[in-house]
């Protein structure tokens, strides 16, 4: 069985709040996600702050640009100690291949995972975008494209993870949209509990607001980990 890990999403607006959040987290949590808000606020220097704490960095910028630009961005991210990062699968085969090759050329290669479908989208949103596949069909099609292009894994909701784990047994599966049963889903439309995501085969579970916005982030993190372990202990 895969031994999944939690990634805490540092969805805060500045370094000060990030440091305050980190100070309140269990030392056992290794992985943290830096997204667009914090990266745009503080720049690449924010990555150094995490590395100084000896943490692993998931840089979630969802790169989607021409192949050369994405390739250079991957190399630059590697120089800042990024361990895992995202690209958009819908960027196409050439972009995905260049991203994969760029990562492999780095002295400390980051793993690349492709976003197939945002967890904030459902089939009604697909219709608005002129996409007439089901969510699962889109996820599988783009997942296959990404893995064929040399990408290390996929970002997927827990609801498609089982299908992707079956199709790509050796790939990394990163699952956002994790909520406890009583939690507020916010702007997410396809959420799941930690134990469900583990059952479906997710490698990493990304948890943001339920921990970061909690009055007691350490306790919230421990509850998430405890729920994950319910599946692992079976």
The whole-angstrom separation of Cα 165 and Cα 78 is: 27
pLDDT over 80 (residue 205)? yes
Residues contacting 49, CB < 8 A, separation 6+: 15, 18, 19
The pLDDT value recorded for residue 187 is 46
The highest-level CATH class for domain 5-232 is: alpha beta
pLDDT over 90 (residue 171)? yes
Active site residue 62: yes
pLDDT over 90 (residue 69)? yes
pLDDT over 80 (residue 188)? no
| Mean pLDDT, rounded, for 203-217 | 90
Q: Per mean pLDDT, which range of 45-49, 57-61, 165-169, 217-221 is the poorest?
A: 217-221
The whole-angstrom separation of Cα 137 and Cα 100 is: 24
Kindly state the percentage of the chain with pLDDT values over 90: 66
The whole-angstrom separation of Cα 116 and Cα 89 is: 6
pLDDT tens string 82-128: 999 999 999 999 999 999 999 999 999 999 999 998 877 888 998 89
pTM score: 0.91
More confident residue, 85 or 212: 85
Q: Mean pLDDT for the chain?
A: 91
Judge contact between 84 and 56, C-beta under 8 A.
Answer: yes
The pLDDT value recorded for residue 185 is 45
Residue among 62, 75, 111, 189 flagged as catalytic:
62
| Mean pLDDT, rounded, for 130-135 | 86
Length of the chain: 234
Domain positions in the chain: 5-232
The whole-angstrom separation of Cα 152 and Cα 11 is: 24
How many whole angstroms from its chain centre is CA 187? 16
Token code pair at residue 161: 């993870």
The pLDDT value recorded for residue 47 is 96
pLDDT over 70 (residue 1)? no
């Amino acid at each position: 069985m895969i031994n999944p890990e939690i990634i805490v999403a540092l969805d805060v607006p500045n370094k000060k709040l990030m440091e305050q959040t980190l100070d309140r987290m269990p030392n056992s949590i290794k992985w943290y996600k830096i997204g667009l808000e914090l990266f745009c606020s503080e720049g690449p220097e924010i990555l150094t702050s995490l590395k100084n704490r000896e943490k692993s960095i998931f840089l979630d910028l969802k790169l989607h640009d021409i192949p050369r630009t994405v390739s250079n961005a991957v190399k630059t991210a590697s120089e800042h100690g990024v361990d895992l990062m995202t690209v958009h699968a819908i960027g196409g085969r050439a972009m995905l291949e260049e991203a994969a090759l760029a990562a492999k050329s780095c002295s400390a290669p980051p793993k690349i995972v492709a976003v197939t479908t945002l967890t904030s989208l459902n089939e009604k949103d697909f219709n608005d975008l002129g996409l007439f596949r089901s969510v699962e069909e889109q996820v599988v099609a783009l997942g296959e494209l990404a893995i064929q292009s040399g990408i290390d894994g996929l970002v997927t909701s827990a609801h498609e993870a089982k299908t992707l784990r079956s199709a790509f047994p050796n790939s990394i599966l990163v699952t956002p949209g994790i909520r406890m049963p009583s939690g507020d889903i916010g702007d997410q439309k396809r959420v799941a509990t930690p134990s469900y995501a583990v059952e479906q085969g997710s490698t990493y579970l990304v948890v943001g607001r339920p921990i970061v916005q909690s009055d007691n982030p350490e306790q919230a993190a421990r509850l998430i980990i405890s729920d994950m372990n319910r599946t692992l202990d079976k």
